[in-house]
Amino acid sequence: MFAMASLPARLIILPLLLLFGTCNANLIRGGDTPQKPFDFFVLALSWSGTSCSSVKDCCPTNACCSSEVATGFTINGFWPDYNNGSWPSCCDGPKYDQNSISIISGFLNTYWPSYDCISAPACGRFIESDLAFEWDTHGKCASPVLSNQYEYFSTALMLYFKYNITEILLKAGYVPSNTVKYPLKDITSAIKNALGVTPIVKCNGHSPIREIQICFDKTLQIEECPTYAPSKCPSRVKLPIKNVTQVPETTNYLSFRGSLNW
């Protein structure tokens, strides 16, 4: 699936690059609570081996239970942020519409998967999927740089393809393993050498890397992240292997989701 999938994805999303030069990033959003324009984007990537280290439920949307979903890093989020460490959320904008991204839904399922069976509510209401959560919570705030759902999701995919951190680490010799620990500073340097910027690495205080973040300015050029959240990683970190989980499917998740009215 991967080999077949990569090429068309690039063909579909690369032309988008041409659009960005002309975007006006200075508009201020209207509505009851106007949002100040954001300052930069964060691309947050989850290490699937860590995301899947404790799986409780399997269901068709849980990537931990599917070998078709990418191992290595997958997209956790693509977030407009402020330089002062906070971020806009729940901005005005069009309602989530699965049809508007149907052409890239295969890539989103593979590279921006959910590691859960139940999606959290977003902006005070129940939503139908993790992607709907991302759109409602963050995606709408990317306007006017990325002004619709297709631009938002395809841009995140395009940057994820362009800056393949899984590949950078593999090429530098950091092979996923459940036992080997690598010096955090060496992993950070390998990425810095490849990209020219220092990534933010997050671990939740334990050795498995949970997330890596890189930042982009509003013209989508990679840049140093303006704000540094503490990484909370030990000095030696792991990149655990993603083990496809085989716990029984939950029997009631469908009816639960059905009750969310989607």
Ligand X SMILES: *[C@@H]1O[C@H](CO)[C@@H](O)[C@H](O)[C@H]1NC(C)=O
Minimal CA–CA distance to 35: which of 87, 95, 94, 96? Answer: 87
Is the N-terminal amide bond of 144 cis, ω within 30° of 0?
yes
Q: Least distance to ligand X from the beta carbon of 84, Å?
A: 4
Only one residue has tokens 């971020």, namely: 87
Rounded distance between C-alpha atoms, residue 236 and residue 209, angstroms: 10
Task: Choose between 82 and 126: whose C-beta lies nearer to ligand X.
Answer: 82
Minimal CA–CA distance to 101: which of 58, 51, 47, 146? Answer: 146
Which residue number places its CB atom closest to ligand X?
167
Q: Least distance to ligand X from the beta carbon of 234, Å?
A: 21
Task: Choose between 26 and 84: whose C-beta lies nearer to ligand X.
Answer: 84
Q: Least distance to ligand X from the beta carbon of 173, Å?
A: 13
Structure-derived torsion over alpha carbons of residues 135, 229, 215, 37, reported in degrees to the nearest 10: 60
Q: Which residues bind ligand X (CB under 6 A)?
A: 2, 6, 36, 82, 84, 86, 111, 161, 164, 166-167, 170, 178, 241, 243, 246
CB environment 93-124: b (16+ within 10 A), e (fewer): beebeeebbeebeebbbbbbbbbbbebeebee
Q: Least distance to ligand X from the beta carbon of 130, Å?
A: 18
Helical (H) or strand (E) element with 85: none
Task: Choose between 179 and 261: whose C-beta lies nearer to ligand X.
Answer: 179
Q: Least distance to ligand X from the beta carbon of 81, Å?
A: 10
Q: Least distance to ligand X from the beta carbon of 259, Å?
A: 30
Q: What 3-state class would DSSP assign to 226?
A: coil
